Structure 1
C-alpha cells in the first residue's frame, strides 16, 4: 500500500500548547516504524489513525491473536470525523481499558462508536483484545 503523507495526526492528540501533534511524532511512529506503543491509550489512538488511513496491516498486528479476525476488511465509504478519548484506566502493569467515542459518516449519515476497549501487554507490546459497545 502506498503511503500518503499526513501532517496532523488523525487521532487528534494535541501538545501542551493545544497544537495538533504531527502524525510522524504521534501515531506514525507506531504505524510506520513498528515502535511499540508505550500505553494502551497510545495504541488505541494509533488504531483509530489506522482506520482513518486504511492501514489494515497495523490493525491486524495490534490485535491480540486470541480475538483477531481471520479476515480483516474495512467498510467502504467510511469518513472518519474525530476521536474523543473519555478515559484510560490502568488495571495493572499488563492490562488496561480505554473508553472512547469515534465519529464517522457513511453514505451521508453520521455514526458514533462508543466503546470501552480492553488491552493486554505481552512481551513489552500492547494489544487490543476486545471491547464493549456503550
Structure 2
C-alpha cells in the first residue's frame, strides 16, 4: 500500500513506523504527515496519542472526528512551509494543505499547525 502522506513511498516504510511507535517520529513534519495518514486510515488511537494532552479532544469530539474522517475521501497532502521542528527542537510549525472530497465537493484544509514535544515525543498542539 502506498503511504497517504507521500504516495511515492510505501506505507510500511513511512507512516506505519510512526503509527506503531510514536517515538519513531523525529520531526514535527513527520508527525504532521503521520497524523494526515492516520486521518486517511481513521486511526483514532494514533490521532489521540499524537495530540497534546492539554488540547486533546474529549471522547464525544473524538467520536465525531472518527465519523467525519470516515465520511470523506482524502485526496492528497501538500506541505507548504516548516519552521523549526527538527530533532533538536522542542517546538515546530508546519503549514500544509490537505485535500479531501465531501458531498461531491473538493475541500482544501489549509492550516498552520503548532507542535511540541511532550513525554519525549512530538505531539500536535493546535492549528489555525
TM score, norm. by length of structure 2:
0.88
- Count of residue correspondences: 120
SS of equivalent residue, structure 1 residue 11: coil
The 2-side partners of 1:110 and 1:123 are apart by 37
Structure 1 position 69, deviation (Å):
0.8
Instruction: Say which of 39, 42, 47 aligns to 1:54.
Output: 42
Distance 1:113 1:121, change over 3 A: same
Does 1:86 pair with 2:74? Answer: no
Structure 1 position 93, deviation (Å):
1.6
Moved over 6 A (4+): none
Does the CA contact (< 8 Å) of 1:77 and 1:107 recur in 2? no
- Counterpart in the other structure of 2:12: 24
Which residues in structure 2 correspond to 1:65-84 (within 5 Å)?
Answer: 65-71=53-59, 72-73=62-63, 74=66, 75=68, 76-84=70-78
Q: Which runs of 5+ in 1 are unaligned?
A: 1-6, 14-19
Q: Where is the helix percentage greater, Structure 1 or Structure 2?
A: 2
- RMSD value over aligned CA atoms? 1.5
Q: Which runs of 5+ in 2 are unaligned?
A: none
Q: Structure with the greater relative contact order (CA < 8 A, sep ≥ 6): 1 or 2?
A: 2
The 2-side partners of 1:130 and 1:113 are apart by 14
